[in-house]
Copies of this chain bind each other. A is one copy, B any other.
Amino acid sequence: MNDKVTIKTIAKIANVSHTTVSRALNDSPLVKEKTKKEIRDIAERLNYSPNLNAKALVEHRSFIIAVYFTDLNSGTSPSFMSEMLHQIKEMLPAGYEIAVDSFAGLRQANQSINLRFDGALVVSQSVSDDLYIDQLAKTGKPVVVLNRKIDRDDLFNYASDDYSGTVTAIEYLLRMGHRKLGIISGKEEFTSSQNRLAGFLDTLQKHNITRNDNWVATGDYSVQSGYNAMEKILNSGDLPTCMFVSNDDMAMGAMRACEDYGFSIPEQISFMGFDDSAYSNYCIPRLTTIRKPVREITNNGIKTLNSLINNESPETVQAMNIKPSLVVRESVKKIN
């Protein structure tokens, strides 16, 4: 029914040139008020809306922000993704679209990066993303990498200092009297898993606590994987007094396994999570965890990206490794 209304359609009706229409709709001071009004009325009446592809072509910007995740299917917890998108949407100037994609998807389809964006926000989990980050950087368009510390200094980069967060966590557990500590680690290829594992091991070593390999298990950040990992540990004979679990989702799975095996939390086994997901304050018992500064990371990211897109120099520093904070709740018991 709408045989696509363009500025030329309007021009014909208003008996002016298409340029005048273009100007009128862009509120240029070069057009008489009366003409402007006429043109706008016609535009409204015909339900005109500009062809953004044409606009993008001629203006060299598309009003699209690309948001790349490492993987949309696994490893990225729903509440993390949802909070990210929500924040991004919230802070993005009106008129911008968010294009969501994943490197895993590109890799699978053997595709290269789509260049139709004014700036890209990369929510990176793994060093394997570097290949694509490099492709993005080569476009010369603004790129901000979030969530994982990268090894280059030409891009803006905001991440959570997972190592220090974990050190905080473990030192708290030690202060609470725990010496028999286990860990459920996340996806091995994810930088966050590696840092959290390293923080755990280093802190034990620093305090001269020998680790028990039976209490070290690996999941993939999913709830079920936490359950499975904990089952393995529970079946291994001697038990830890406390588990550090690399994210809250897995912690929920692990706590469920304890429940099923008849171990009470935190009386028999204490639990420390990571992330401070939306559910950790409601599970039973409430999960003591490390709050990942998702909001800060995201806010910095978009603020910077916005500045870069508008050719301003960003207010924030080039790279930040934001320290997570301890959230004490009910899942860790003080022992002696």
Contacts and interface: CB of A to CB of B under 8 A. Distances in A.
Contacts of A227: 282
A310 interface: no
Interface in A283-305: 283-284, 286
Given A62-B53, A223-B278, A72 B86 contact: yes
Interface stretch (A76-84, A188-196, A239-247): A76-84
Contacts of A100: 85, 89, 98-100
Given A57-B51, A78-B82, A227-B282, A89 B102 contact: yes
Contacts of A279: 223, 252, 279
Nearest to A111: B94
B223 A49 contact: no
- This protein's copies in its complex: 2
A328 interface: no
Interface residues of A, number: 57
Nearest to A95: B111
A229 to B, nearest CB: 13
Interface stretch (A112-120, A176-184, A212-220): A112-120
A97 interface: yes
Contacts of A57: 51, 53-54, 57
30 contacts: A49-B113, A53-B53, A53-B57, A54-B57, A64-B99, A72-B82, A72-B85, A72-B86, A73-B90, A78-B78, A78-B79, A78-B81, A79-B79, A81-B85, A82-B82, A89-B100, A89-B102, A95-B111, A97-B114, A98-B100, A99-B100, A100-B100, A223-B279, A252-B279, A252-B282, A252-B283, A253-B282, A279-B279, A283-B283, A284-B284
